[in-house]
Structure 1
Amino acid sequence: MAPDASAPIETGHTTSADGTTIGWRRLGTGPAIVVVHGALATGEQWLPVARALADEYTMFLVDRRGRPLSGNAEDYDLATEIADVKAVLAVAGPGATLFGHSYGGIVSAATAAAGADISALVLYEPPLPVAGPLPGSLMEAVAAAIAGGDNNRALSIFMSDIIHAPDTAVAALRQIPMWAEWAALAPVWVRELRVTDGLIDDLDRFTAIQQRTLLLLGADSPQHQIDATGFFAKHVPDTTLVEFPGQEHFAHVTEPAAVADAIRRFLRQS
Protein backbone atom coordinates (compact mmCIF):
# COMPACT_ATOMS: atom_id res chain seq x y z
CA MET A 1 0.00 0.00 0.00
CA ALA A 2 1.41 3.40 -0.97
CA PRO A 3 1.99 5.82 1.90
CA ASP A 4 -0.78 8.34 2.44
CA ALA A 5 1.17 11.59 2.53
CA SER A 6 -2.08 13.52 2.82
CA ALA A 7 -3.19 11.87 6.07
CA PRO A 8 -3.88 14.71 8.53
CA ILE A 9 -1.70 14.75 11.63
CA GLU A 10 -3.19 15.72 14.97
CA THR A 11 -1.01 16.66 17.92
CA GLY A 12 -2.27 15.84 21.39
CA HIS A 13 -1.14 15.53 24.98
CA THR A 14 -1.89 13.48 28.03
CA THR A 15 -0.59 13.53 31.59
CA SER A 16 1.57 10.82 33.10
CA ALA A 17 1.40 9.57 36.67
CA ASP A 18 4.00 12.06 37.93
CA GLY A 19 2.23 15.01 36.28
CA THR A 20 4.55 15.23 33.28
CA THR A 21 2.91 16.10 29.96
CA ILE A 22 3.42 13.46 27.29
CA GLY A 23 2.79 14.49 23.68
CA TRP A 24 1.95 12.45 20.62
CA ARG A 25 1.09 12.74 16.94
CA ARG A 26 -1.96 10.88 15.64
CA LEU A 27 -2.90 10.03 12.09
CA GLY A 28 -4.94 7.41 10.25
CA THR A 29 -8.07 5.42 11.02
CA GLY A 30 -8.66 1.95 12.37
CA PRO A 31 -7.24 -0.06 15.27
CA ALA A 32 -4.60 1.80 17.25
CA ILE A 33 -0.84 1.29 17.07
CA VAL A 34 1.19 3.21 19.67
CA VAL A 35 4.80 3.76 18.55
CA VAL A 36 7.52 4.33 21.17
CA HIS A 37 10.73 5.67 19.61
CA GLY A 38 14.31 4.98 20.62
CA ALA A 39 16.99 7.09 22.28
CA LEU A 40 18.15 8.89 19.14
CA ALA A 41 14.73 9.98 17.99
CA THR A 42 11.43 11.68 18.48
CA GLY A 43 8.06 10.44 17.32
CA GLU A 44 8.42 12.48 14.15
CA GLN A 45 11.07 10.07 12.87
CA TRP A 46 8.33 7.45 12.52
CA LEU A 47 6.06 9.46 10.23
CA PRO A 48 7.08 7.56 7.05
CA VAL A 49 6.11 4.23 8.64
CA ALA A 50 2.95 5.75 10.10
CA ARG A 51 1.86 7.17 6.76
CA ALA A 52 2.30 3.74 5.16
CA LEU A 53 -0.07 2.25 7.76
CA ALA A 54 -2.51 5.13 8.16
CA ASP A 55 -5.00 3.70 5.65
CA GLU A 56 -5.70 0.81 8.01
CA TYR A 57 -4.55 1.86 11.50
CA THR A 58 -4.70 4.85 13.82
CA MET A 59 -1.08 5.64 14.54
CA PHE A 60 0.00 7.28 17.81
CA LEU A 61 3.61 8.48 17.61
CA VAL A 62 4.74 9.21 21.15
CA ASP A 63 7.32 11.87 21.94
CA ARG A 64 8.93 10.35 25.00
CA ARG A 65 9.70 12.64 27.94
CA GLY A 66 12.49 15.08 27.26
CA ARG A 67 11.49 15.43 23.59
CA PRO A 68 9.85 18.47 21.97
CA LEU A 69 6.17 17.57 22.42
CA SER A 70 6.61 16.34 26.00
CA GLY A 71 7.68 17.64 29.35
CA ASN A 72 10.42 16.30 31.58
CA ALA A 73 11.24 15.75 35.23
CA GLU A 74 14.39 15.31 37.25
CA ASP A 75 13.38 11.92 38.66
CA TYR A 76 13.71 9.22 36.03
CA ASP A 77 13.64 5.44 35.80
CA LEU A 78 12.04 2.71 33.71
CA ALA A 79 8.85 2.81 35.79
CA THR A 80 8.46 6.47 34.82
CA GLU A 81 8.56 5.58 31.12
CA ILE A 82 6.11 2.70 31.64
CA ALA A 83 3.66 5.13 33.23
CA ASP A 84 4.11 7.49 30.26
CA VAL A 85 3.26 4.76 27.76
CA LYS A 86 0.28 3.61 29.79
CA ALA A 87 -1.04 7.18 29.74
CA VAL A 88 -0.93 7.22 25.94
CA LEU A 89 -2.44 3.71 25.77
CA ALA A 90 -5.35 5.04 27.81
CA VAL A 91 -5.98 7.59 25.06
CA ALA A 92 -5.57 4.99 22.31
CA GLY A 93 -8.08 2.67 23.97
CA PRO A 94 -8.03 -0.99 25.01
CA GLY A 95 -6.48 -3.59 22.74
CA ALA A 96 -4.01 -1.33 20.96
CA THR A 97 -0.81 -2.68 19.46
CA LEU A 98 2.34 -1.43 21.18
CA PHE A 99 5.44 -0.96 19.03
CA GLY A 100 8.86 -0.03 20.41
CA HIS A 101 12.18 0.59 18.69
CA SER A 102 15.58 0.37 20.37
CA TYR A 103 15.32 1.83 23.91
CA GLY A 104 11.64 2.39 23.17
CA GLY A 105 11.50 -1.36 22.65
CA ILE A 106 12.78 -1.89 26.18
CA VAL A 107 10.12 0.51 27.46
CA SER A 108 7.41 -1.22 25.41
CA ALA A 109 8.48 -4.70 26.47
CA ALA A 110 8.52 -3.64 30.12
CA THR A 111 5.06 -2.08 29.71
CA ALA A 112 3.71 -5.31 28.21
CA ALA A 113 5.33 -7.36 30.97
CA ALA A 114 3.67 -5.08 33.53
CA GLY A 115 0.25 -6.14 32.25
CA ALA A 116 -0.76 -3.35 29.90
CA ASP A 117 -4.03 -3.88 28.03
CA ILE A 118 -2.61 -4.42 24.55
CA SER A 119 -3.48 -6.94 21.86
CA ALA A 120 0.00 -7.35 20.36
CA LEU A 121 3.59 -6.22 20.80
CA VAL A 122 6.15 -5.28 18.14
CA LEU A 123 9.81 -4.92 19.13
CA TYR A 124 12.57 -3.67 16.86
CA GLU A 125 15.96 -4.49 18.43
CA PRO A 126 15.49 -3.58 22.10
CA PRO A 127 19.11 -3.45 23.37
CA LEU A 128 18.80 -5.65 26.43
CA PRO A 129 22.25 -6.06 28.05
CA VAL A 130 22.25 -9.85 27.67
CA ALA A 131 26.05 -9.86 27.31
CA GLY A 132 26.60 -7.62 30.32
CA PRO A 133 26.63 -3.87 30.99
CA LEU A 134 28.60 -1.31 29.02
CA PRO A 135 32.18 -0.74 30.17
CA GLY A 136 32.22 1.97 32.82
CA SER A 137 34.83 3.87 30.83
CA LEU A 138 32.38 4.30 27.94
CA MET A 139 29.67 5.69 30.17
CA GLU A 140 32.18 8.03 31.77
CA ALA A 141 33.41 9.21 28.38
CA VAL A 142 29.88 9.95 27.17
CA ALA A 143 28.96 11.74 30.39
CA ALA A 144 32.18 13.77 30.32
CA ALA A 145 31.58 14.86 26.74
CA ILE A 146 28.06 16.01 27.57
CA ALA A 147 29.23 17.80 30.73
CA GLY A 148 31.81 19.58 28.59
CA GLY A 149 29.18 20.69 26.09
CA ASP A 150 30.51 18.43 23.33
CA ASN A 151 27.37 16.55 22.39
CA ASN A 152 28.85 15.66 18.99
CA ARG A 153 31.67 13.81 20.74
CA ALA A 154 29.16 12.03 22.99
CA LEU A 155 27.14 10.95 19.96
CA SER A 156 30.25 9.72 18.14
CA ILE A 157 31.12 7.52 21.12
CA PHE A 158 27.54 6.26 21.23
CA MET A 159 27.58 5.37 17.54
CA SER A 160 31.06 3.88 17.35
CA ASP A 161 31.51 2.15 20.70
CA ILE A 162 27.98 1.39 21.87
CA ILE A 163 25.96 0.79 18.69
CA HIS A 164 29.17 -0.41 16.93
CA ALA A 165 28.44 1.44 13.70
CA PRO A 166 31.38 1.29 11.25
CA ASP A 167 33.58 4.39 11.02
CA THR A 168 32.42 4.98 7.46
CA ALA A 169 28.79 4.92 8.59
CA VAL A 170 29.47 7.36 11.43
CA ALA A 171 31.25 9.71 9.05
CA ALA A 172 28.29 9.59 6.67
CA LEU A 173 25.78 10.15 9.46
CA ARG A 174 27.65 13.26 10.58
CA GLN A 175 26.74 14.84 7.24
CA ILE A 176 22.97 14.48 7.53
CA PRO A 177 20.64 16.96 9.31
CA MET A 178 19.44 14.23 11.68
CA TRP A 179 22.88 14.13 13.35
CA ALA A 180 22.32 17.53 14.96
CA GLU A 181 18.91 16.41 16.24
CA TRP A 182 20.44 13.28 17.79
CA ALA A 183 23.27 15.26 19.39
CA ALA A 184 20.83 17.75 20.91
CA LEU A 185 19.13 14.86 22.72
CA ALA A 186 22.37 13.65 24.34
CA PRO A 187 21.55 14.81 27.91
CA VAL A 188 18.31 12.80 27.71
CA TRP A 189 19.54 9.58 26.16
CA VAL A 190 22.55 9.22 28.43
CA ARG A 191 20.20 8.50 31.34
CA GLU A 192 18.50 5.88 29.18
CA LEU A 193 21.85 4.15 28.71
CA ARG A 194 22.18 3.94 32.48
CA VAL A 195 18.71 2.40 32.81
CA THR A 196 19.58 -0.15 30.12
CA ASP A 197 22.76 -1.09 31.97
CA GLY A 198 20.79 -1.47 35.20
CA LEU A 199 18.65 -4.21 33.64
CA ILE A 200 21.49 -6.72 33.71
CA ASP A 201 20.08 -8.22 36.93
CA ASP A 202 16.45 -7.71 35.96
CA LEU A 203 16.08 -9.54 32.64
CA ASP A 204 13.58 -11.98 34.11
CA ARG A 205 10.92 -9.24 34.16
CA PHE A 206 10.62 -9.60 30.36
CA THR A 207 9.71 -13.29 30.59
CA ALA A 208 6.29 -12.18 31.87
CA ILE A 209 5.26 -10.99 28.38
CA GLN A 210 2.23 -12.99 27.22
CA GLN A 211 1.06 -11.00 24.19
CA ARG A 212 1.90 -12.33 20.74
CA THR A 213 5.03 -10.49 19.68
CA LEU A 214 6.64 -9.52 16.39
CA LEU A 215 10.42 -9.22 16.54
CA LEU A 216 12.06 -7.05 13.86
CA LEU A 217 15.77 -7.38 13.16
CA GLY A 218 18.16 -5.85 10.65
CA ALA A 219 20.02 -8.74 9.05
CA ASP A 220 23.24 -6.70 9.19
CA SER A 221 22.78 -5.45 12.77
CA PRO A 222 25.62 -6.00 15.25
CA GLN A 223 25.78 -9.13 17.33
CA HIS A 224 24.59 -7.55 20.57
CA GLN A 225 21.32 -6.59 18.85
CA ILE A 226 20.96 -10.09 17.43
CA ASP A 227 21.58 -11.60 20.87
CA ALA A 228 19.07 -9.29 22.56
CA THR A 229 16.42 -10.14 19.98
CA GLY A 230 17.24 -13.80 20.53
CA PHE A 231 16.49 -13.38 24.23
CA PHE A 232 12.90 -12.41 23.42
CA ALA A 233 12.58 -15.19 20.86
CA LYS A 234 13.64 -17.69 23.52
CA HIS A 235 11.73 -16.39 26.52
CA VAL A 236 8.49 -14.96 25.11
CA PRO A 237 6.03 -17.77 24.29
CA ASP A 238 4.49 -16.45 21.06
CA THR A 239 6.96 -14.66 18.78
CA THR A 240 7.38 -14.11 15.06
CA LEU A 241 10.76 -12.98 13.70
CA VAL A 242 11.15 -10.84 10.58
CA GLU A 243 14.60 -9.87 9.29
CA PHE A 244 15.26 -6.99 6.90
CA PRO A 245 17.98 -7.99 4.39
CA GLY A 246 20.79 -5.49 4.07
CA GLN A 247 19.44 -3.37 6.93
CA GLU A 248 20.63 -2.56 10.43
CA HIS A 249 19.10 -0.65 13.33
CA PHE A 250 17.34 2.09 11.34
CA ALA A 251 15.31 0.32 8.66
CA HIS A 252 12.36 2.55 9.56
CA VAL A 253 14.42 5.43 8.13
CA THR A 254 16.02 3.65 5.16
CA GLU A 255 13.17 1.25 4.25
CA PRO A 256 9.98 2.46 5.98
CA ALA A 257 7.72 0.56 3.57
CA ALA A 258 9.36 -2.73 4.53
CA VAL A 259 8.85 -2.04 8.22
CA ALA A 260 5.22 -1.06 7.64
CA ASP A 261 4.58 -4.16 5.52
CA ALA A 262 6.01 -6.45 8.22
CA ILE A 263 3.73 -4.91 10.84
CA ARG A 264 0.69 -5.07 8.57
CA ARG A 265 1.25 -8.76 7.73
CA PHE A 266 1.71 -9.63 11.39
CA LEU A 267 -1.41 -7.85 12.57
CA ARG A 268 -3.55 -9.31 9.79
CA GLN A 269 -2.70 -12.77 11.10
CA SER A 270 -4.69 -12.18 14.25
Structure 2
Amino acid sequence: MQGALFKHTTSADGTPIGWRQLGTGPAIVIAHGAISTGEQWLPVAQILAEHYTVMLVDRRGRGLSGDAADYDLSTEVADLDAVLAAAGPGAAVIGHSYGAIIAAAAAAAGADISALILYEPPLPVVDLIAGDACTSCAAAVAAGEHERALSIMLTDIVNMDEPDLADLRQTPMWERMVDLVPTLPRELRAIDGLVGDLDRFTTIQQRTLLLLGETTAQYQVDATRFLVERLPAATRVEIPEQAHFAHVAVPGTVADAVRSFLGGA
Protein backbone atom coordinates (compact mmCIF):
# COMPACT_ATOMS: atom_id res chain seq x y z
CA MET A 1 0.00 0.00 0.00
CA GLN A 2 1.88 3.05 -1.26
CA GLY A 3 2.35 5.79 1.31
CA ALA A 4 1.02 3.80 4.28
CA LEU A 5 2.99 3.14 7.44
CA PHE A 6 2.43 -0.13 9.32
CA LYS A 7 2.38 0.30 13.09
CA HIS A 8 1.62 -1.76 16.19
CA THR A 9 0.83 -1.30 19.83
CA THR A 10 0.02 -3.73 22.63
CA SER A 11 -3.40 -4.07 24.22
CA ALA A 12 -4.02 -4.56 27.93
CA ASP A 13 -4.00 -8.37 27.64
CA GLY A 14 -0.72 -8.41 25.70
CA THR A 15 -2.30 -8.84 22.24
CA PRO A 16 -0.54 -6.90 19.44
CA ILE A 17 -2.88 -4.52 17.62
CA GLY A 18 -1.80 -3.18 14.22
CA TRP A 19 -2.90 -0.46 11.88
CA ARG A 20 -2.09 1.23 8.58
CA GLN A 21 -1.39 4.94 8.89
CA LEU A 22 -1.87 7.50 6.13
CA GLY A 23 -1.62 11.28 5.87
CA THR A 24 -0.74 14.04 8.29
CA GLY A 25 -2.81 16.27 10.53
CA PRO A 26 -5.30 15.63 13.35
CA ALA A 27 -5.75 11.93 14.05
CA ILE A 28 -8.75 9.85 12.97
CA VAL A 29 -8.88 6.24 14.16
CA ILE A 30 -11.15 3.91 12.17
CA ALA A 31 -12.66 0.76 13.72
CA HIS A 32 -14.09 -1.51 11.01
CA GLY A 33 -17.04 -3.87 11.27
CA ALA A 34 -17.36 -7.66 11.35
CA ILE A 35 -15.89 -9.92 8.65
CA SER A 36 -13.60 -7.18 7.37
CA THR A 37 -10.27 -5.49 8.04
CA GLY A 38 -9.17 -1.89 8.07
CA GLU A 39 -8.45 -2.13 4.35
CA GLN A 40 -12.19 -2.03 3.63
CA TRP A 41 -12.05 1.62 4.66
CA LEU A 42 -8.97 2.44 2.58
CA PRO A 43 -10.88 4.39 -0.15
CA VAL A 44 -12.35 6.68 2.52
CA ALA A 45 -9.01 6.93 4.34
CA GLN A 46 -7.16 7.98 1.19
CA ILE A 47 -9.50 10.95 0.81
CA LEU A 48 -9.36 11.92 4.48
CA ALA A 49 -5.56 11.59 4.48
CA GLU A 50 -5.32 14.87 2.54
CA HIS A 51 -6.02 16.68 5.82
CA TYR A 52 -5.82 14.07 8.59
CA THR A 53 -3.61 11.34 9.98
CA VAL A 54 -5.82 8.28 9.42
CA MET A 55 -5.20 5.11 11.41
CA LEU A 56 -6.87 2.06 9.83
CA VAL A 57 -6.96 -0.48 12.64
CA ASP A 58 -7.14 -4.22 12.01
CA ARG A 59 -9.25 -5.39 14.94
CA ARG A 60 -8.04 -8.44 16.87
CA GLY A 61 -8.22 -11.78 15.12
CA ARG A 62 -7.33 -10.53 11.64
CA GLY A 63 -4.76 -8.79 9.47
CA LEU A 64 -2.02 -6.95 11.31
CA SER A 65 -3.34 -7.83 14.78
CA GLY A 66 -3.05 -10.83 17.04
CA ASP A 67 -5.73 -12.57 19.08
CA ALA A 68 -6.36 -14.30 22.41
CA ALA A 69 -8.68 -17.01 23.67
CA ASP A 70 -10.62 -14.77 26.08
CA TYR A 71 -12.98 -12.34 24.38
CA ASP A 72 -15.73 -9.88 25.12
CA LEU A 73 -16.62 -6.31 24.16
CA SER A 74 -14.38 -4.87 26.88
CA THR A 75 -11.41 -6.62 25.24
CA GLU A 76 -11.94 -4.65 22.04
CA VAL A 77 -12.53 -1.42 23.96
CA ALA A 78 -9.10 -1.95 25.53
CA ASP A 79 -7.65 -2.50 22.04
CA LEU A 80 -9.10 0.81 20.85
CA ASP A 81 -7.84 2.55 23.99
CA ALA A 82 -4.33 1.31 23.20
CA VAL A 83 -4.49 2.72 19.66
CA LEU A 84 -5.89 6.02 20.96
CA ALA A 85 -2.93 6.26 23.35
CA ALA A 86 -0.63 5.93 20.34
CA ALA A 87 -2.67 8.50 18.39
CA GLY A 88 -2.27 11.12 21.10
CA PRO A 89 -4.83 13.37 22.79
CA GLY A 90 -8.08 14.30 21.11
CA ALA A 91 -8.32 11.88 18.19
CA ALA A 92 -11.61 11.47 16.37
CA VAL A 93 -12.97 7.94 15.95
CA ILE A 94 -14.99 6.43 13.12
CA GLY A 95 -16.71 3.14 13.88
CA HIS A 96 -18.67 1.01 11.44
CA SER A 97 -21.19 -1.67 12.43
CA TYR A 98 -19.69 -3.72 15.29
CA GLY A 99 -16.74 -1.34 15.22
CA ALA A 100 -19.21 1.46 15.91
CA ILE A 101 -20.38 -0.38 19.04
CA ILE A 102 -16.75 -0.63 20.17
CA ALA A 103 -16.19 3.08 19.48
CA ALA A 104 -19.38 4.04 21.30
CA ALA A 105 -18.51 1.85 24.28
CA ALA A 106 -15.04 3.39 24.48
CA ALA A 107 -16.48 6.93 24.36
CA ALA A 108 -19.07 6.07 27.00
CA ALA A 109 -16.30 4.71 29.25
CA GLY A 110 -14.43 8.01 29.09
CA ALA A 111 -11.85 7.48 26.33
CA ASP A 112 -10.04 10.60 25.12
CA ILE A 113 -12.03 11.05 21.90
CA SER A 114 -12.71 14.51 20.47
CA ALA A 115 -15.52 13.50 18.11
CA LEU A 116 -17.34 10.30 17.25
CA ILE A 117 -18.64 9.11 13.87
CA LEU A 118 -20.85 6.02 14.15
CA TYR A 119 -22.06 4.27 10.99
CA GLU A 120 -24.95 1.96 11.88
CA PRO A 121 -23.98 0.41 15.23
CA PRO A 122 -26.27 -2.66 15.51
CA LEU A 123 -27.54 -2.05 19.02
CA PRO A 124 -30.36 -4.44 20.00
CA VAL A 125 -32.82 -1.71 21.00
CA VAL A 126 -35.99 -3.57 19.93
CA ASP A 127 -34.99 -7.24 19.88
CA LEU A 128 -31.97 -9.49 19.50
CA ILE A 129 -29.99 -8.67 16.36
CA ALA A 130 -28.62 -12.15 15.66
CA GLY A 131 -30.91 -14.41 17.72
CA ASP A 132 -31.28 -17.87 16.22
CA ALA A 133 -29.08 -16.87 13.29
CA CYS A 134 -26.15 -16.62 15.71
CA THR A 135 -26.62 -20.28 16.69
CA SER A 136 -26.85 -21.34 13.03
CA CYS A 137 -23.82 -19.28 12.11
CA ALA A 138 -21.75 -20.69 14.98
CA ALA A 139 -22.73 -24.25 14.02
CA ALA A 140 -21.65 -23.63 10.42
CA VAL A 141 -18.30 -22.22 11.59
CA ALA A 142 -17.77 -25.23 13.88
CA ALA A 143 -18.43 -27.51 10.92
CA GLY A 144 -15.92 -25.63 8.77
CA GLU A 145 -18.69 -24.36 6.47
CA HIS A 146 -17.53 -20.78 6.38
CA GLU A 147 -19.34 -19.77 3.18
CA ARG A 148 -22.63 -21.02 4.63
CA ALA A 149 -21.97 -19.12 7.84
CA LEU A 150 -21.31 -15.94 5.88
CA SER A 151 -24.47 -16.41 3.84
CA ILE A 152 -26.51 -16.85 7.04
CA MET A 153 -25.08 -13.66 8.47
CA LEU A 154 -25.66 -11.58 5.34
CA THR A 155 -29.18 -12.80 4.61
CA ASP A 156 -30.63 -13.33 8.09
CA ILE A 157 -28.91 -10.49 9.95
CA VAL A 158 -27.79 -7.85 7.43
CA ASN A 159 -30.96 -8.55 5.35
CA MET A 160 -29.09 -8.68 2.04
CA ASP A 161 -31.33 -9.96 -0.75
CA GLU A 162 -30.35 -12.97 -2.88
CA PRO A 163 -29.43 -11.06 -6.08
CA ASP A 164 -27.06 -8.80 -4.15
CA LEU A 165 -25.62 -11.81 -2.32
CA ALA A 166 -25.05 -13.57 -5.65
CA ASP A 167 -23.25 -10.49 -6.98
CA LEU A 168 -21.07 -10.32 -3.86
CA ARG A 169 -20.04 -13.96 -4.29
CA GLN A 170 -18.47 -13.00 -7.63
CA THR A 171 -16.24 -10.31 -6.15
CA PRO A 172 -12.82 -10.53 -4.45
CA MET A 173 -14.49 -9.11 -1.34
CA TRP A 174 -16.35 -12.41 -0.83
CA GLU A 175 -13.22 -14.50 -0.33
CA ARG A 176 -11.75 -11.93 2.05
CA MET A 177 -14.94 -12.04 4.11
CA VAL A 178 -15.01 -15.85 4.14
CA ASP A 179 -11.47 -15.91 5.54
CA LEU A 180 -12.63 -13.83 8.52
CA VAL A 181 -15.77 -15.81 9.36
CA PRO A 182 -14.23 -17.56 12.43
CA THR A 183 -14.31 -14.18 14.26
CA LEU A 184 -18.03 -13.72 13.58
CA PRO A 185 -19.87 -15.83 16.22
CA ARG A 186 -18.17 -14.17 19.19
CA GLU A 187 -19.03 -10.72 17.86
CA LEU A 188 -22.67 -11.67 17.24
CA ARG A 189 -22.90 -13.02 20.79
CA ALA A 190 -21.42 -9.77 22.12
CA ILE A 191 -24.01 -7.72 20.23
CA ASP A 192 -26.96 -9.73 21.53
CA GLY A 193 -25.40 -9.62 24.99
CA LEU A 194 -26.06 -5.87 25.08
CA VAL A 195 -29.80 -6.42 25.59
CA GLY A 196 -30.59 -4.75 28.89
CA ASP A 197 -27.24 -2.91 28.90
CA LEU A 198 -27.95 -0.08 26.48
CA ASP A 199 -28.04 2.74 29.02
CA ARG A 200 -24.23 2.76 29.02
CA PHE A 201 -24.31 4.32 25.53
CA THR A 202 -26.50 7.23 26.66
CA THR A 203 -23.60 8.64 28.71
CA ILE A 204 -21.64 9.64 25.58
CA GLN A 205 -20.81 13.35 25.78
CA GLN A 206 -18.71 13.80 22.64
CA ARG A 207 -20.34 15.40 19.64
CA THR A 208 -21.43 12.49 17.50
CA LEU A 209 -22.24 12.03 13.82
CA LEU A 210 -24.60 9.13 13.12
CA LEU A 211 -24.44 7.91 9.53
CA LEU A 212 -27.39 5.91 8.21
CA GLY A 213 -27.99 4.37 4.80
CA GLU A 214 -31.32 5.29 3.23
CA THR A 215 -32.12 1.66 2.37
CA THR A 216 -30.60 -0.05 5.41
CA ALA A 217 -32.23 -2.67 7.66
CA GLN A 218 -34.89 -1.51 10.12
CA TYR A 219 -32.89 -2.53 13.20
CA GLN A 220 -30.16 -0.13 12.10
CA VAL A 221 -32.73 2.64 11.80
CA ASP A 222 -34.01 1.79 15.29
CA ALA A 223 -30.50 1.83 16.77
CA THR A 224 -29.64 5.15 15.16
CA ARG A 225 -32.90 6.71 16.36
CA PHE A 226 -32.19 5.42 19.88
CA LEU A 227 -28.88 7.29 19.97
CA VAL A 228 -30.10 10.45 18.24
CA GLU A 229 -32.88 10.79 20.80
CA ARG A 230 -30.59 10.30 23.81
CA LEU A 231 -27.22 11.85 23.07
CA PRO A 232 -26.79 15.55 23.87
CA ALA A 233 -24.68 16.37 20.80
CA ALA A 234 -25.82 14.01 18.04
CA THR A 235 -26.24 14.77 14.32
CA ARG A 236 -27.88 12.29 11.93
CA VAL A 237 -26.92 12.18 8.24
CA GLU A 238 -28.67 9.84 5.81
CA ILE A 239 -26.70 8.53 2.83
CA PRO A 240 -29.01 8.38 -0.23
CA GLU A 241 -29.57 5.05 -2.01
CA GLN A 242 -27.15 3.20 0.26
CA ALA A 243 -27.40 0.59 3.00
CA HIS A 244 -24.67 -0.81 5.27
CA PHE A 245 -21.62 -0.52 3.00
CA ALA A 246 -21.65 3.04 1.69
CA HIS A 247 -17.96 3.39 2.57
CA VAL A 248 -17.29 0.75 -0.10
CA ALA A 249 -19.86 1.87 -2.69
CA VAL A 250 -19.56 5.67 -2.36
CA PRO A 251 -16.42 6.45 -0.34
CA GLY A 252 -16.35 10.06 -1.46
CA THR A 253 -19.82 10.66 -0.03
CA VAL A 254 -18.83 9.16 3.32
CA ALA A 255 -15.53 11.07 3.41
CA ASP A 256 -17.35 14.33 2.62
CA ALA A 257 -19.79 13.75 5.48
CA VAL A 258 -16.91 13.10 7.88
CA ARG A 259 -14.92 16.15 6.74
CA SER A 260 -17.98 18.40 6.95
CA PHE A 261 -18.72 17.18 10.48
CA LEU A 262 -15.16 17.48 11.78
CA GLY A 263 -14.58 20.78 10.01
CA GLY A 264 -17.67 22.23 11.65
CA ALA A 265 -16.25 21.91 15.17
TM-score, normalised by the number of residues in structure 2: 0.98
Match of 1:235 in 2: 230
1:155-185 Cα deviation digits (max 9, x unpaired): 0000000111111111111111111111111
Match of 2:96 in 1: 101
Match of 2:219 in 1: 224
Q: CA deviation at 1:135?
A: 6.0
Tell whether 2:173 aligns with 1:166. Answer: no
One-letter identity of the residue aligned with 1:70: S
Tell whether 2:175 aligns with 1:198. Answer: no
SS at 1:201's partner residue?
coil
Match of 1:249 in 2: 244
Q: CA deviation at 1:12?
A: 0.4
Residues of 1 paired with 2:208 and 2:181: CA distance?
30
Tell whether 2:46 aligns with 1:48. Answer: no
Q: CA deviation at 1:223?
A: 0.7
Tell whether 2:245 aligns with 1:269. Answer: no
Match of 2:173 in 1: 178
Residues of 2 paired with 1:134 and 1:60: CA distance?
29
Residues of 2 paired with 1:141 and 1:57: CA distance?
41
One-letter identity of the residue aligned with 1:128: L
Residues of 2 paired with 1:117 and 1:73: CA distance?
25
Residue 98 of structure 2 contacts residue 121 of structure 2 at CA under 8 Å; is this kept in 1?
Answer: yes
What are the within-5 Å matches in structure 2 for residues 60-99 of structure 1? 60-99=55-94
Out of 33, 37, 47, the residue aligned to residue 32 of structure 2 is: 37
Residues of 1 paired with 2:206 and 2:167: CA distance?
38
One-letter identity of the residue aligned with 2:122: P
Tell whether 2:18 aligns with 1:23. Answer: yes
SS at 1:247's partner residue?
coil
Identity %: 60
How many residues matched?
Answer: 265
Tell whether 2:155 aligns with 1:155. Answer: no
Tell whether 2:117 aligns with 1:117. Answer: no
Q: CA deviation at 1:201?
A: 1.1
Q: CA deviation at 1:134?
A: 4.1
Tell whether 2:203 aligns with 1:208. Answer: yes
Residues of 2 paired with 1:11 and 1:223: CA distance?
37
Q: CA deviation at 1:136?
A: 4.3
RMSD, aligned CA: 1.1
Residues of 1 paired with 2:133 and 2:105: CA distance?
25
Residues of 2 paired with 1:193 and 1:135: CA distance?
6
Residue 44 of structure 2 contacts residue 254 of structure 2 at CA under 8 Å; is this kept in 1?
Answer: yes
Q: CA deviation at 1:40?
A: 2.1
SS at 2:210's partner residue?
strand
Match of 1:141 in 2: 136
Residues of 2 paired with 1:268 and 1:61: CA distance?
20
Structure 1 gaps of 5+ residues are: none
TM-score, normalised by the number of residues in structure 1: 0.96
Residues of 2 paired with 1:137 and 1:158: CA distance?
11
One-letter identity of the residue aligned with 1:102: S
CA distance 1:23–1:172, change in 2 (3 Å): same
SS at 1:34's partner residue?
strand
Match of 1:258 in 2: 253
Residues of 2 paired with 1:262 and 1:137: CA distance?
35
One-letter identity of the residue aligned with 1:86: D
